[in-house]
Structure 1
Amino acid sequence: MTEDEQLERALALSMQDSQPKFQLPVAPQEDDDEAQFMADLQRAIEASKAEVSKIQQPERPIPIQSDPPSRSQTHTPFLSDRAQLERERLERQKRLRGEMIDEEKDEIEVEELPPAKRHHPSSSNRPARANGGASSSSTISRSITGTSTPATTGEQLFWDGELRQTANKHADLKQDIPPTFRLTEVIGNKSEIAFALLSSYTTLWGWIYEFFDPSTPVLIVSQPDETGQESVKNILPNWVRTTPFLRSGRGCMHMKFMLLFHKTGRLRVVVSTANFVDFDWRDIENTVWVQDIPLRASPIPHDPKATDFPATFERVLKALNVRSALDIMIRTDHPNIPFKSISDLRRLWDFSKVKVKLVASIAGKHEGWPNVIHTGHTALMKAVRDLGVRAGKEREVIVECQGSSIGTYSTQWMNEFHCSARGESAEEWLDQAKTKRSKLPWPPVKIVFPSLQTVRNSALGEPGGGTMFCRKSQWEAAKFPRELFYDSNSKQGRILMHTKMIIATFRDRGVIGKSNKSSSSAQKGKRRATPSDSDTEYSDDDIVEIDPPQSQHYVGWAYVGSHNFTPSAWGTLSGSSFSPTLNVTNYELGIVFPLKDEKDVDRVAAWKRPPRKYDTRKDIAWMQEESAALRG
């Protein structure tokens, strides 16, 4: 289905129940491509007037991103176009800023669109499961497993939070599969939603449009065009799309979340690994975290220094150009939406029961501790410390990283990330000599990614592997860490996983002698505070006692969100301990929470544990560019 047909279909759907007034704010002058799109769109709309009547035509064209067919359309080839789409994207970047070095190319992540060779809908084929997930005895673990409360409408509510995998058409029902989420269950009763704020890297517009009432105002954040410029545009009746800034058009707006504001005042917060395309919610496996947030009895004052969950989300929304989009919606057709200002999120809703930490990556160059500590892997480090799951000197951290895209790795970057995963200060890392950092061995990291054989044996075979990315040039590089790769096998059966998840577990280093304890004690003392030690800003003259809390009753922590295990997603640290710089390519978002015991670890992990280590004599990673099934 073409873009014109997608929009025409969505407009027609909107007219079946209501005929909302569709007006556009004044937009900047469109370029030649969009002018051509205007003409094409106008012809399509004119042709559909017999079916779609009494709709006010837009004043100027609405460019919408190219998407695959909706669920009611017959299949068109897709997977074979994936490699070509990536080549075209890289060519556009070359034209914008000249030839890029190979390493830069490898660090830019490829994201996922739904494959073409797929079987149609599925989520309705599997019976709904009651919320029967085991709950940990710890407060935070309960907030992840959650206990649901049925609403008066029959909808489940998750006041303590709920983490589940997505339901899948190809799941092996013989397996002991815990409760799963369908998108209909995540969104809930669409007639009760007063306003929705969504984010997705790629969106199948006609498909996602059907999950919301046509009269509901929706603001959606998506990937900018190749120029990387901010934009705000109406794309459908009551739907506004906003895009954030990307330097030179490089990188991804990769966040996947929902803020669903209900007419009762309740807010549902969703952080997931799935895009708004049918394939992500039916044929491959993803992970979703949901928590319902009550409205406060009365607003609280805005606190610009807050660093908690809603304050972090507010910083994210500002970076995503949501403020401009909200202003336009309020000034034009939707003056009564319940979320009028980004600062309302913390002022009006009570997040006191949220026990997870929100970790974001904001694309750009971040300089100085107050800025560096709020994004990328240094924000992960702060979350680990704030949760009390810092490993300490006596324990080693084993990190298992499941993702759908492989980056370009160096021992320096991987040790840099592992330093944050341990909860160690980034200041200590930067204090080490660059030559020492560059010569460190690989840290204890397991990269969980499907092997070629696993993809071939999956329910959809190679045609279903179009959303998993590892390039041949990466895999065959002389210093690429092939020995760190482990096979990705879903607990639900022969299903490929799009889930981005990190499981970090602690292991004792052995008996620690008195001399080591003395040495550790000697290192305590006065030094400059970093923002990882305090929620408040500081000056270089501030001196405090540093001894971050370490928890002995947790066995590790977990991350779930949009971050793949790549430098593009988590950032690269440089500079000095006095003047640090973190460069981040993508916009990413996820949650971090502690793991109480081994049962917690196995319950949360999406893959079968322990993962099978690649046999380097015969196993190779799945590389879609090498697949004849996707090239044809």
Structure 2
Amino acid sequence: MCTGPKITASISNRLRLPKSCRIPLPCRRLVCQPASRSNSLDKIKCRRFQAMSVDDDVYEEQLNHAIALSIQDQARTNEKVMCQSNRTNNPTPNPFLQDRKAMEEARLARLATKRSRGLHDGDYGVEGVDMPARKRATMASKEPSAAGVSVPFPEGVVKRTWVQGYSRSSDDIKIEEILQKDQLKLALLSSFQWSEPWLLTKIDVSRTKVILAAFAADELQKQAMRSNSPENIKFCFPAMHGHGAMHSKLQILKFDDYLRIMVFLIDLPLLTLADQPCSSTPFLTQLQLFLGAMGIDDGMISSLSKYDFSKTEDLGFVYSRPGWHTGSAFSDVGYAGLGKAVAALGLATSEPVQVDVACASLGAIKNDLVQGIYHACQGYVDETTQPESSLAGRDKPTKNVVDMQQVFRIYFPSHDTVAKSRGGTRAAGTICFQEKWWRATTFPSELMRDCVNTRDGLLMHSKIILVHCNGSTVNDRVAKPTWAYVGSANLSESAWGRIVKDKATGRPKILCRNWECGVIIPVRTAPASAETGQPTNLDMFKGVVPVPMKTPGPRYSKNTRPWFFLHA
């Protein structure tokens, strides 16, 4: 599922943390061995890991950090080799391409005299960019700008990552088609891992300014990352507030006439001077809060208002960030933020909902997290308050006791599914779960379904939540709240948070450990191909979200064993 970049590296030799990148981890010895790459998943085999007494969810995140740091260090070494090779093997310039470049530059110069530009083209990083925001007044939703700017994805769309060896459909897309490096002017990229040599084949840093939101353990590592990168690549280092992961997958891509936001995929035209000013949408507000918390420069954040966000009015932006959150910040993050966004979009309901969750990693989850996410899918902000639905005509939901086995399904691949996949067990190094969590009496194993891709033999790295109500036809279902979450959050407390009552104030507070983000996409109309007859599986999502797994999915039997990361 195309939900932003998880940018990874091929590993050709043993990886070790550089001295400058050492961080306090609860491990005494970590040895990582490489393995072959397949199914678009990188395989990293880890042995001899001895953990001290820490929270199980923290263990996974810290292990991932150590792996990511090793990969980054190796990638920078490879980048130097690649750059040296490029300097000695520059191809002969193509006169046709040079003419096209000159024509494009002339066109851009003419365009620049007619309107103000979008994101700043000068000092673009996260340190002191001066780009004041223009104040906006309210406007109705409109088509792309008065200047007639045409954008590829004006309404927003969810695509699958195309995989070599599989036939391509209209649901598939390639990273090259997203980045469009010949036209890309500025890119803000957030990811868990980076392969700089690979990235430099997808983005032309001689013409594109790049900001990478990345993890760094300390100032020494930050300086090392800055000094080892090309001049046109800047870094933003979001605060971690303890143990956790920089796990969000977000791309903000600036082209000449529009802004592309990549969690799902939507293109927003640049407002011209002839356009009416645009009011902020909840999507834009939450996106700006997220970027501000990450540490992106205020000027760059405010410059987003130069684009027409009216098409995001019916979309929700949901995120998590590390730390404890109380007061007004409580309902902005984690599954509290999910419930708030669901209610704000008019999707709150007192009816039972059907929830299908697919993920690439599972934490040490318990029933309380499952129930919390389930109630958030109904529009609750937390376990003790009513949802903040302000839309007329929809009652606030009243929680009813439901049998979770009838309404909640967790899709995660079994060991057999991984073993029979195209790449086998050596291709599943980024699908994470631990046997001790599975064996815990508190783990909701009765909710587990085998995650089998609709593309035979292909493993998944998608994080998706599909929500709908029961109905006799697809039209009946879509008439009730129906929506999808597509983003970076796996099913864990680190990603979605843990809500407790503050002893001092008696009010709820939420703890998240990861940076995550995603989008809520409502389904308002039934697909034309399924307007009549009985619904089949998740037919109501056709044309909105390409469901990546077979549903409802086989239940785990007594003999079914999930895939365990440490068996990779």
- TM-score, L = length of structure 1: 0.60
Write the distance in 2 (CA, Å) between the matches of 1:344 and 1:67. Answer: 44
Match of 1:241 among 235, 254, 259: 235
Match of 1:574 among 492, 496, 500: 500
Write the distance in 1 (CA, Å) between the matches of 2:35 and 2:231. Answer: 20
Asked whether the 8 Å contact 2:411–2:553 carries over to 1, the reply is no
Match of 1:471 in 2: 434
Write the distance in 1 (CA, Å) between the matches of 2:501 and 2:372. Answer: 13
1:586 equivalent in alignment to 2:514: yes
Match of 1:375 in 2: 333
Match of 2:540 among 569, 585, 600: 600
Match of 2:183 in 1: 192
Write the distance in 2 (CA, Å) between the matches of 1:228 and 1:590. Answer: 31
**How far is 1:451 from its partner?**
0.7
1:613 equivalent in alignment to 2:551: no
Match of 1:291 in 2: 266
Deviations 1:493-519 (A, max 9, x none): 21001010001121379xxxxxxxxxx
1:557 equivalent in alignment to 2:497: no
Asked whether the 8 Å contact 2:205–2:233 carries over to 1, the reply is no
Asked whether the 8 Å contact 1:195–1:260 carries over to 2, the reply is yes
Residue aligned with 1:192, SS: coil
1:223 equivalent in alignment to 2:223: no
**How far is 1:307 from its partner?**
6.2
Q: How does 1:34-433 map to 2 (within 5 A)?
A: 34=20, 79-82=43-46, 87=49, 99-102=53-56, 104-105=58-59, 110=64, 157-171=152-166, 173=167, 177-188=169-180, 190-215=181-206, 216-225=208-217, 233-234=226-227, 235-248=229-242, 250-262=243-255, 264-271=256-263, 289-298=264-273, 308-323=282-297, 340-346=299-305, 348-354=306-312, 355-368=314-327, 370-392=328-350, 395-426=351-382, 428=384
Write the distance in 1 (CA, Å) between the matches of 2:359 and 2:163. Answer: 18
**How far is 1:624 from its partner?**
2.8
Deviations 1:36-68 (A, max 9, x none): 9xxxxxxxxxxxxxxxxxxxxxxxxxxxxx999
Deviations 1:68-89 (A, max 9, x none): 9999xxxxx97353456xx48x
**How far is 1:35 from its partner?**
10
Write the distance in 1 (CA, Å) between the matches of 2:220 and 2:55. Answer: 20
Write the distance in 2 (CA, Å) between the matches of 1:217 and 1:351. Answer: 23
**How far is 1:317 from its partner?**
1.2
AA in 2 matched with 1:221: A
1:482 equivalent in alignment to 2:445: yes
Structure 1 range deviating more: 313-322 or 458-467: 313-322
Match of 1:280 in 2: none
**How far is 1:442 from its partner?**
4.5
Write the distance in 1 (CA, Å) between the matches of 2:34 and 2:18. Answer: 24
**How far is 1:565 from its partner?**
1.3
Match of 1:458 in 2: 421
1:495 equivalent in alignment to 2:449: no
Asked whether the 8 Å contact 1:220–1:242 carries over to 2, the reply is yes
Residue aligned with 1:459, SS: coil
Deviations 1:171-224 (A, max 9, x none): 3x3xx9443010001112x23222111111101100011211231211111122
**How far is 1:463 from its partner?**
0.9
Write the distance in 1 (CA, Å) between the matches of 2:561 and 2:218. Answer: 33
Write the distance in 2 (CA, Å) between the matches of 1:100 and 1:301. Answer: 52
AA in 2 matched with 1:465: A
**How far is 1:109 from its partner?**
8.3
Write the distance in 2 (CA, Å) between the matches of 1:592 and 1:312. Answer: 12
Write the distance in 2 (CA, Å) between the matches of 1:67 and 1:233. Answer: 27
Write the distance in 2 (CA, Å) between the matches of 1:580 and 1:247. Answer: 19
Residue aligned with 2:379, SS: coil
Write the distance in 1 (CA, Å) between the matches of 2:511 and 2:371. Answer: 16
Asked whether the 8 Å contact 1:554–1:595 carries over to 2, the reply is no
Residue aligned with 1:322, SS: coil
AA in 2 matched with 1:79: K
Asked whether the 8 Å contact 1:402–1:449 carries over to 2, the reply is yes
Change (3 A) 1:424 1:110: same
Residue aligned with 1:373, SS: helix
Residue aligned with 2:353, SS: strand
Match of 1:513 in 2: none
Deviations 1:204-252 (A, max 9, x none): 100011211231211111122279998783522311122111123x111
Residue aligned with 2:311, SS: coil
Residue aligned with 1:219, SS: strand
Deviations 1:292-344 (A, max 9, x none): 111122499999xx661122111111111222xx8xxxxxxxxxxxxx43211
Write the distance in 2 (CA, Å) between the matches of 1:467 and 1:214. Answer: 29
Asked whether the 8 Å contact 1:170–1:495 carries over to 2, the reply is no
Write the distance in 1 (CA, Å) between the matches of 2:417 and 2:230. Answer: 40
Match of 2:6 in 1: none
Match of 2:97 in 1: none
AA in 2 matched with 1:105: Y
Asked whether the 8 Å contact 1:415–1:440 carries over to 2, the reply is no
Asked whether the 8 Å contact 2:190–2:251 carries over to 1, the reply is yes
AA in 2 matched with 1:590: G
Write the distance in 1 (CA, Å) between the matches of 2:379 and 2:21. Answer: 52
Write the distance in 2 (CA, Å) between the matches of 1:342 and 1:166. Answer: 28
**How far is 1:617 from its partner?**
2.3
Change (3 A) 1:412 1:593: same
Residue aligned with 2:318, SS: strand
Write the distance in 2 (CA, Å) between the matches of 1:451 and 1:560. Answer: 22
AA in 1 matched with 2:43: L
Asked whether the 8 Å contact 1:110–1:469 carries over to 2, the reply is no
Residue aligned with 2:159, SS: strand
Write the distance in 2 (CA, Å) between the matches of 1:490 and 1:313. Answer: 31
- TM-score, L = length of structure 2: 0.67
Match of 1:624 in 2: 565
Asked whether the 8 Å contact 1:293–1:349 carries over to 2, the reply is yes
AA in 2 matched with 1:607: P
Write the distance in 2 (CA, Å) between the matches of 1:601 and 1:485. Answer: 22
Match of 1:39 in 2: none
| Cα RMSD after superposing both structures | 4.1
Residue aligned with 1:381, SS: helix
Residue aligned with 1:617, SS: coil
Residue aligned with 1:507, SS: coil
Q: How does 1:16-35 map to 2 (within 5 A)?
A: 33-34=19-20
AA in 1 matched with 2:232: N
AA in 2 matched with 1:472: E
Asked whether the 8 Å contact 1:403–1:500 carries over to 2, the reply is yes
Write the distance in 2 (CA, Å) between the matches of 1:399 and 1:225. Answer: 37
Asked whether the 8 Å contact 1:302–1:343 carries over to 2, the reply is no
